[in-house]
């Protein structure tokens, strides 16, 4: 088998090699998902759309087959079309969605099961065989209704594998935590998409936006994933394997070199201290977070708690998880972000269809304000856990002061209730705002008066400012953290926070890049929060440079016109001042 190379977008660094496992999207677990009354028409519309799409798919297959073979084979699919047009079947699904108020996929699968049973019991052999058609069609409709691949076939896997998927949902990646996953590669996705974030928290390389990897790679092909350059090398030759083994060893040596500074202060050569914290997705990351010397959790993404389950996490369950993390971090702060649903973070267990929360839609704090039942449960759990450590709360996607006030009003109600119940909590628990919507960055001086701290979420701030979808591989070239508009918004936010004497952090992917972190240092950022694997590299950079150098550079880049110029000039400066933090082997592998 000949070696070939696929080029994608580097999403999580590192090199991995192993067998490919192409994610099979054919197996479904259908969660029991109740819907609200007003969502019934949406579920019915989704069902009808899925039927239409399935009919089109089958017609296309029929066309192709009849062109290539004789008409007889194409006729097999007539039976499929007949199932899809069975009015009694369709009506039953619609009536049951209306009456029982469950999701389209769940209702459809229940009705399907009933039909399969009826067919299986028919005496006539020909008709009994039609059960296969009913099942086949059912799977197609379900595939079109459910966009999250289900990974239960992974549960039985023993060997180490590289996951290749068209897309991976947050619940897919969350369910991979304890598996032997060496790397991820996906056809779609951008560098700040959840696949990238989860790969970093698992500490494995990832390449996204490969376009057609799932079609070009076959199960069990041996591949090398180069997460720094965004490459997949399929069927590598002995020579390529040897080159990559060398690179892998060098990366390890590069990372190990920083281990010796783990317990030293994070301070510039002229005495400016900053705080380096870790982002946390799942409590399983705590050992790595400690091992890399994080001084706290700057972002605890709580969405993962709500994934891969059919019910909502209870207050008690959440309380235990938050308490566990707070205690594990001892006196270091743990910044818990309230539920940030929507956009790329979708889940199936909540009683909302996914299409209701697009990036610009009903998401994050907007969702929580409209569903105080869910929000309050989480706030109670966070407050109760606050006596066991140094918990801070922050709200995602705040777009203006009104939302902050509304969220705080609900928090106050929860506090009053806890007091009435004589349940202890930290009355001084800091409450911060994520600055990730341009309107929040532009009105930061208003928000700063009513917030205890800020945390800039550049993954979203960049997407909203530059109008680029963070999960879309086609806009990757436009993802420019150094874009003058982004830098100005960050500067405005930092200045507004400092004018009110509140600390300001940044928890987007941007601050794990030494060159960009150097600019942020110069802009006056107080706290840097990132995947734990990057902490020591950033620490080394900070300990090697002076604040004055960083300030000079920040001032200079603020006067530049393009993101590219900003990054080039900053890179040159970091190379001069702290060459050891720039990994030198970037260009040493083959340039494909
Ligand atoms: C961000 O938007 O930068 C952020 C840190 O949050 P998330 O990636 O979870 O949206
Ligand atoms: Mg965000």
Residues 6+ apart with CB under 8 A from 368: 338, 339, 374, 375, 378, 395, 407
The angle subtended at Cα 155 by Cα 241 and Cα 236, nearest 5°, is 10
Tell me phi and psi for residue 261, to 5 degrees.
Answer: -95, 5
Which-ligand-closest: CA of 335?
A: 1
194 is catalytic: yes
299 lines ligand 1 (CB under 6 A): yes
DSSP one-letter string for 92-135: HHHHHHHHH-B-HHHHHHHHHHHHHHHHHT-SSHHHHHHHHHHH
Place of tokens 């917030």: 451
Residues lining ion ligand 2 (Cβ < 5 A) are: 436, 457, 460
Q: Please write the tens of the pLDDT for every residue from 456-499.
A: 999 999 999 999 988 888 888 899 999 999 999 999 999 999 99
Question: Which among 488, 493, 386, 360 is positioned nearest to 433, based on CA atoms?
Answer: 493
Task: Return the residue whose CA atom lies nearest to atom 1 of ligand 1.
Answer: 457
Ligand 1 near 509 CB (within 6 A): no
Q: Which residues pair with 528 in a beta bridge?
A: 276, 506
Q: Which residues contact 136 (CB under 8 A, 6 or more apart)?
A: 80
Q: 436 CB less than 6 Å from ligand 1?
A: yes
Ligand 1: atom nearest CA of 460 is 2
What is the average per-residue pLDDT within 532-560? 97
Query: How much is the pLDDT for 308?
Result: 61
Least-confidence region, from 130-139, 340-349, 455-464: 340-349
Tell me the H-state helices in 475-544: 484-499, 514-523, 535-544
CB 525 within 8 A of CB 548: no
Name which residue sits closest to atom 4 of ligand 1, judged by CA: 457
- Greater pLDDT, 553 or 179: 553
pLDDT of 72 reads 56
Cα distance between residue 58 and residue 81, in whole Å: 7
The model's pLDDT over 17-48, given as tens digits with 9 standing for 90+, comes to 999 988 754 445 566 788 888 889 989 999 99
Q: Is the pLDDT of residue 349 over 50?
A: no
Q: CB burial class (10 A; 0-12, 13-18, 19+) of residue 498?
A: middle
pLDDT 10s digits, 182-222: 999 999 888 888 788 888 888 899 999 998 898 899 888 99
Run of H or E residues at 385: helix 372-385
Question: How close is the Cα of 197 to the center of ligand 1, in Å?
Answer: 9
Q: Residue 173 has which token pair? A: 């990646």
Catalytic residue at 511? no
Q: Determine whether the shortest distance from the Cβ of 200 to ligand 1 is under 6 A.
A: no
**How many angstroms separate the first and last alpha carbons of the chain?**
18
What are the angstrom distances between the C-alpha of 69 and each of 42, 62, 73, 137, 328?
A: 40, 10, 7, 22, 65
Nearest to 51 by CA among 129, 127, 144: 144
User: What per-residue confidence (pLDDT) applies to 483?
Assistant: 98
**Given the residues 80, 292, 368, 507, the one annotated as active site:** 507
pLDDT value of position 515: 97
Q: With 0.85 as the threshold, say if the pTM is over it.
A: no
Q: Which residue has the higher pLDDT, 530 or 347?
A: 530
The DSSP bridge pattern shows strands 231-234 and 4-7 to be antiparallel
> Strands, DSSP E only, in 166-208?
181-186, 206-208
SS3 161: strand
Q: Assess contact for 186 and 167: CB atoms under 8 A.
A: yes
Question: Using a 6 Å cutoff on CB, does residue 533 contact ligand 1?
Answer: no
Question: What integer pLDDT is reported at residue 158 of this predicted model?
Answer: 62
């Amino acid at each position: 088998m000949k070696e070939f190379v696929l080029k994608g977008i580097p999403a999580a660094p590192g090199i991995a090699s192993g067998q490919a496992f192409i994610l099979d999207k054919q197996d479904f677990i259908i969660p029991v998902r109740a819907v609200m009354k007003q969502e019934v028409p949406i579920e019915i519309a989704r069902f009808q759309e899925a039927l239409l799409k399935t009919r089109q798919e089958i017609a296309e297959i029929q066309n192709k087959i009849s062109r290539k073979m004789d008409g007889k084979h194409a006729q097999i699919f007539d039976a499929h079309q007949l199932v899809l047009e069975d009015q009694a079947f369709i009506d039953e699904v619609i009536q049951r969605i209306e009456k029982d108020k469950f999701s389209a996929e769940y209702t459809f699968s229940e009705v399907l099961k009933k039909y399969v049973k009826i067919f299986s019991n028919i005496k006539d052999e020909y008709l009994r065989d039609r059960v296969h058609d009913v099942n086949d069609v059912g799977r197609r409709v379900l595939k079109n209704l459910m966009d999250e691949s289900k990974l239960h076939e992974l549960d039985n896997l023993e060997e180490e594998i590289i996951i290749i998927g068209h897309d991976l949902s947050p619940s897919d990646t969350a369910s991979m935590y304890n598996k032997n996953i060496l790397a991820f590669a996906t056809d779609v996705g951008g560098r700040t998409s959840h696949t990238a974030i989860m790969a970093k928290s698992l500490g494995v390389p990832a390449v996204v936006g490969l376009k057609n990897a799932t079609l070009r790679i076959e199960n069990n092909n041996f591949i090398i994933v180069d997460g720094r350059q965004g490459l997949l090398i399929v069927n590598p030759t002995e020579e390529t394997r040897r080159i990559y083994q060398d690179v892998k060893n060098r990366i390890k040596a590069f990372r190990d070199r920083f281990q010796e500074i783990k317990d030293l202060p994070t301070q510039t050569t002229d005495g400016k201290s900053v705080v380096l914290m870790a982002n946390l997705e799942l409590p399983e990351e705590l050992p790595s977070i400690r091992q890399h010397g994080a001084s706290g959790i700057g972002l605890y993404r709580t969405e993962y708690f709500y994934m891969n389950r059919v019910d909502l996490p209870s207050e008690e369950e959440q309380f235990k998880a938050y308490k566990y993390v707070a205690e594990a971090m001892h006196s270091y702060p743990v910044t818990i972000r309230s539920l940030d649903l929507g956009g790329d973070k979708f889940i199936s267990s909540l009683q909302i269809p996914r299409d209701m929360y697009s990036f610009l839609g009903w998401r994050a704090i907007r969702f929580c304000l409209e569903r105080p039942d869910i929000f309050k449960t989480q706030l109670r759990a966070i407050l109760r856990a606050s006596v066991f450590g140094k918990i801070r709360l922050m709200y995602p996607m705040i777009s203006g002061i009104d939302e902050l006030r509304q969220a705080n009003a609900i928090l106050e109600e929860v506090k009053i209730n806890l007091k009435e119940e004589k349940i202890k909590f930290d009355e001084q628990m800091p409450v911060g705002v994520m600055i990730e919507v341009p309107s929040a960055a532009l009105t930061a001086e208003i928000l700063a008066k009513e917030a205890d701290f800020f945390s800039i979420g550049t993954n979203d701030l960049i997407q909203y400012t530059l109008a680029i979808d963070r999960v879309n591989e086609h806009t990757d070239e436009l993802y420019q953290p150094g874009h003058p508009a982004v830098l100005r918004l960050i500067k405005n936010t930092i200045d507004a926070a400092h004018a009110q004497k509140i600390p300001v952090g940044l928890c987007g992917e941007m601050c794990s890049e030494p060159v960009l972190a150097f600019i942020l240092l110069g802009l006056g950022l107080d706290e840097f929060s990132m995947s734990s694997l990057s902490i020591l590299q950033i620490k080394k950079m900070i300990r090697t440079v002076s604040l004055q150098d960083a300030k000079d550079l920040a001032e200079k880049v603020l006067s530049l016109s393009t993101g590219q110029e900003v990054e080039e000039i900053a890179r040159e400066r970091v190379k001069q001042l702290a060459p050891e933090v720039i990994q030198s082997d970037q260009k040493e592998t083959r340039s494909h």
